[in-house]
Amino acid sequence: MDTFDEKYFGAARLLPQALRSAALALPPPEQRLAEELRLRAGFPVSAVLPGVESGLEGP
C-alpha cells in the first residue's frame, strides 16, 4: 500500500515542472495534511489543508 507521502509525490509528479516545484516546496508537515492540490483558471495553485486553503508559489 502506498504511504501518504508517496501519494502526494505521485500527484505532484503529474504536474508541469513549475507547479510541481511549488507543490514540493510546501513544508512536509503541510504536505501530509494536504487533501488536494487545487488548479483553477485565474487563481494561483493552492493546497487544501483541513479548514484552510494555502496558496503556493508558482506561475
For the segment 6-26, what is each residue's pLDDT rounded down to a tens digit? Answer: 888 999 999 999 999 999 999
Domain that holds residue 45: 4-55
Mean per-residue pLDDT of the chain: 88
**Count of domains in the chain?**
1
Give the pLDDT score at 2: 64
**39 vs 2, residue with greater confidence:** 39
The pLDDT confidence band at residue 59, using thresholds 50, 70 and 90, is low
Contact 47, 10 (CB under 8 A): no
Position 57 confidence tier, pLDDT thresholds 50, 70, 90? confident
- DSSP 3-state percent helix, strand, coil across the chain (nearest 5): 40, 20, 40
pTM score, whole prediction: 0.79
CA 53 to CA 59: how far, in whole Å? 17
* Cβ atoms 26, 9 nearer than 8 A: no
